[in-house]
Amino acid sequence: DTAVSQTPKYLVTQMGNDKSIKCEQNLGHDTMYWYKQDSKKFLKIMFSYNNKELIINETVPNRFSPKSPDKAHLNLHINSLELGDSAVYFCASSPQPGYEQFFGPGTRLTVL
Partner 1 sequence: AQSVTQPDIHITVSEGASLELRCNYSYGATPYLFWYVQSPGQGLQLLLKYFSGDTLVQGIKGFEAEFKRSQSSFNLRKPSVHWSDAAEYFCAVAEVGTYKYIFGTGTRLKVLA
Interface residues with partner 1 (CB under 8 A)?
4, 33, 40-43, 45, 48, 50, 55-56, 90, 92, 97-106
In the complex, the smallest distance separating the C-beta of residue 41 from partner 1, rounded to whole angstroms, is: 5
CB of residue 77 to partner 1, shortest distance in Å: 21
Cα–Cα distance, 104 to 33 (Å, whole number): 10
In angstroms, what is the minimal distance from the CB of 65 to partner 1? 19
CB of 60 within 8 A of CB of 70?
no
- Rank residues 86 and 102 by Cβ distance to partner 1 and give the closer one: 102
Q: Which is nearer to partner 1, 64 or 90 (CB)?
A: 90
Pick from 62, 68, 33: which is nearest to 48 by CA?
33
Rounded CA-CA distance 100/92 in Å is: 10
Q: Please, which residue, 75 or 94, has the CB nearer to partner 1?
A: 94
- Smaller CB separation from partner 1, 2 or 79: 2
Coil, strand or helix: which one is 81? coil
Strand (E) or helix (H) holding 32? strand 31-37
